[in-house]
Amino acid sequence: MKQNLHAPDISDYLSSLYASLVMTTIKWCLQNNGYKQLVNHTQLFLKLSEVFESPCP
């Protein structure tokens, strides 16, 4: 069975991309007085913590 040697690289890239997207969203909300949006979407913080805590292959 052939292993995909690029899988860890893609996983790292997608994790970084997702983390960047979440951080950009949080920054935008804070800059535009979107505190209520942050409170309403706490899953952003939970998902971000999952991304940073995911085990490295």
**Domain residue extents for the chain:** 10-53
pLDDT at 40: 74
pLDDT at 1: 46
pLDDT at 33: 80
CB-based burial label for 4 (10 Å; 0-12, 13-18, 19+): exposed
pLDDT at 47: 67
**What is the value of pTM for the model shown?**
0.51
pLDDT at 57: 47
pLDDT at 48: 64
pLDDT < 70 stretches in the chain: 1-8, 42, 44-45, 47-57
* Alpha helical stretches, state H, the chain: 7-31, 35-40, 43-53
The dihedral sign for the CA sequence 46, 49, 53, 56: positive
